[in-house]
Structure 1
Amino acid sequence: MARFQVRRLRNSPVLGLELQANLLDKLTTRVLVPLVPVAELGQTIRQINPVFEIGGVSYALLSQHIAAVPLTEIGDVVADLSRHADAIVAATDFMFQGF
C-alpha cells in the first residue's frame, strides 16, 4: 500500500485516500480519509476539503473524517493522487493545526 493512493473499501462504494507513511506498512491498519462525490455534499470547508477529479467525477476529501481502517476492509487502488500531495498535506495540516 502506498501513501496518496485512492482505494475502494471492500464491499462498499466508498473511496478512501491513504495518508499513512509508507514506512509503517507493517501495521494492520491504514489511516484513510474518505473521498465523497461533491454532488452528494451540502457544504464543504475549502481549507480541509480540497476537491479532486477521479474517473471524471469531482470528489471532496473529508479530512474531518480521518480514520484508521483495518487492512481487511481495504480494497483495490482506483487512483493515485500523489501529484496533489501538497494540497492534501495542506488540508490535513489545517485540520490539525488550524493554519
Structure 2
Amino acid sequence: MNLKVKKQDLRNEWLKPKYNLRKVRLSNELSTEYLGNCIGSSRRQYELKERGIYPFHDYEIAIISYVLKDTPQRLFLISYVISHREILHKEVNNNVKV
C-alpha cells in the first residue's frame, strides 16, 4: 500500500469551510474582527480560516471554543470527520487482499 501523499492533495481534501463555526459565531452576534482579535489575527486572516482557505492552529481552536462556549468537535469537526471515517474505512477494506 502506498501511503505517500502530497501535502497539497491533503489540504484540498481535508481543509473545508467551518460552517458550524460560522453558524455559532453569527448566533452569538460576534464579528469576524472580534474573533480574529481573540486569536491574535486580523479580520481578513480569520475569515480565510473560517472559509477553509487556511487551517486553524490548535491554540486558536481552544480560544475560539472558549469564547463561543462550545466544544471544538462541534465547531470544527463533527460532520466532516464522520464522512471521512466512512471513506477511509471503505478504502482500507478495498485495499486489503485476502
TM-score class, shorter-chain normalisation, is: under 0.3
Task: Name whichever structure is richer in strand by fraction.
Answer: 1
Q: Could you state the TM-score of these two structures normalised by the residue count of structure 1?
A: 0.26
Q: Could you state the TM-score of these two structures normalised by the residue count of structure 2?
A: 0.26
Greater CA radius of gyration, 1 or 2?
A: 2
- Structure of higher RCO (CA pairs closer than 8 Å, 6+ residues apart): 1
Task: Name whichever structure is richer in helix by fraction.
Answer: 2
